[in-house]
Structure 1
């Protein structure tokens, strides 16, 4: 069974069926947790699943797999008073068990600048033969634009014809991104990227998990879709780094 199938099956049993015994089938004994929502280890995950409320449900949108890393992009309903958009990143070990987990969550916004939702758009990876080329392009973009703050090269990486934006505060196109960035700057929230910790690429989808600042220390999760060698779509979550975590593993 592939890593993608393992994670999809485990997520369905854990968060679809809300079955705590799925931990025994799918989670490694040395399971390492990076989420701010649960302590370390499989028993903490078991307790989390056992405590899910009756109205809880997970609405899966995308699954992106890259070797032993698998990303889920979706919406949690009932995990709090309001729906939460989430990226969940899992590492699957050689025994086919989930061995590590990172996540980022943000409230679902109904009124966005682009009119798009935080999760709509294409869902299935395509153009699988360009996975490595797309990975390299996004990493170069991250180095020059995100970390280097050289916005003069934006059009080398982002399409000037089609750029669909799913960040709630940014309209479509480069002009939309520029206007949002200017507003953020006025609010003292400049986009500062320090380190890219992980990249997950499958076909036309590339996800970056990064660390930086946005007024406060944050985790940046950026999902890009590419076509013909340019970025044409972007989804993201910008999550403040909590002052304390329920484990000693760090957020990254």
Structure 2
């Protein structure tokens, strides 16, 4: 496993699943740990302060990494969490920045409830996982960047079919999220784009129905076209509820 990916995965598994929050955050972070999960303070102390009580409240933790992407200094994880035998189920999407020693120095996340659906083939985490076409990484990132900027930010509906066949697109999202088309023109800022082979991940600020959202889109491409999409988004809390510099 790539060393940076191992660091991010081990922080999850050792620190949260196995309940060793202090040891893991100390072991796997660098000289700083800048936090963008708005309920968690910056630094090692903020992680411990948040997760040690969580571990006591939630003694049974089934945590599984579903998809992972490594692109230079960045690592992305899509994680499924089943807490206390189904009392809560979450889909967590996390982006980590790492230093030259492969330690984590910054973290962004989006967390949403996992919702059971009748068609398991299109739920929030099902679908393809295999990374292929590594030689197409940069081309695929550029395709997604153009799609997001022209269609999702600028609202150029007529360009949509240049990037995706909406009749063939497989979308994985919570039932209340809505279709991709319903968000055309509502993206305010595409904050980060990373990719590995046929998978590209974008982290964006979205403003829809007077609500600011933090949103991860995971795209799977083939021959330059978007074939599959996973969406994970959450409302951005009012600024007075933040304990760090915010989601972005």
Instruction: Answer whether TM exceeds 0.5 for this pair.
Output: yes
Contact 1:198 1:208 in 2 (8 A): yes
Deviates more, 1:98-107 or 1:150-159: 150-159
Q: 1:84 aligns with which of 72, 80, 90?
A: 90
Structure 1 residue 57: deviation in Å? Answer: 2.8
Indicate conservation of the 8 Å contact 2:63/2:81, yes or no.
yes
| Runs of at least 5 residues in structure 1 that lack an aligned partner in the other structure | 182-188
Contact kept? 1:191, 1:214, Cα under 8 Å = no
Q: Partners of 2:176 and 2:238 in 1: how far apart? A: 28
With structure 1 as the length reference, what TM-score do the two structures score? 0.86
Match of 1:58 among 48, 53, 63: 63
TM-score (norm 2): 0.88
CA shift, 1:114, in A, is 8.4
- Count of equivalent residues: 240
Change (3 A) 1:170 1:138: farther
Q: Measured at CA, do residues 177 and 134 of structure 1 come closer, stay the same or move farther in structure 2, by a change above 3 Å?
A: same
2:230 pairs with 1:238: no
Tell me whether 13-22 or 110-119 shows the greater mean CA deviation.
110-119
Give the counterpart of 2:132 among 113, 120, 126.
126
Which whole-Å CA distance do the structure 1 matches of 2:152 and 2:226 have between them? Answer: 14
Q: Which has the higher mean CA deviation after the structures are superposed, 11-20 or 108-117?
A: 108-117
Does 2:197 correspond to 1:203? yes
- Which consecutive aligned stretches of 4+ in structure 1 deviate over 4 angstroms post-superposition? 112-115
Q: CA deviation at 1:191?
A: 5.4
Matches within 5 A, 1:70-219: 70-78=75-83, 81-111=87-117, 116-159=122-165, 162-169=168-175, 177-178=180-181, 181=182, 192-215=186-209, 216-219=211-214
Pairwise CA distance, 1:9:
2.5
1:30 to 18, 29, 32: 32
Deviations 1:53-85 (A, max 9, x none): 211232210111111111110222228942111
Deviations 1:202-241 (A, max 9, x none): 1111111111212111112111000111000000122111
Q: Summarize deviations over 1:126-160 as a string: whole Å, max 9, x none.
A: 11110000000000000111011111111110135
Instruction: Quote the offset at 1:194 in angstroms.
Output: 1.1
1:227 to 208, 212, 222: 222
- Partner SS, residue 83 of structure 1: strand
- Unmatched tracts of structure 2, length 5 or more: none
Alpha-carbon spacing, 1:168–1:113, altered in 2? closer, same or farther (3 Å): farther
| CA offset digits 1:80-117 (Å, max 9, x no partner) | 94211110111111122111111001111112688511
1:42 pairs, out of 41, 44, 50, with: 44
Instruction: State the Cα RMSD in Å.
Output: 2.5
Alpha carbons 1:137, 1:157 under 8 Å: kept: yes
Q: Give, in whole Å, the separation in 2 of the partners of 1:194 and 1:14.
A: 34
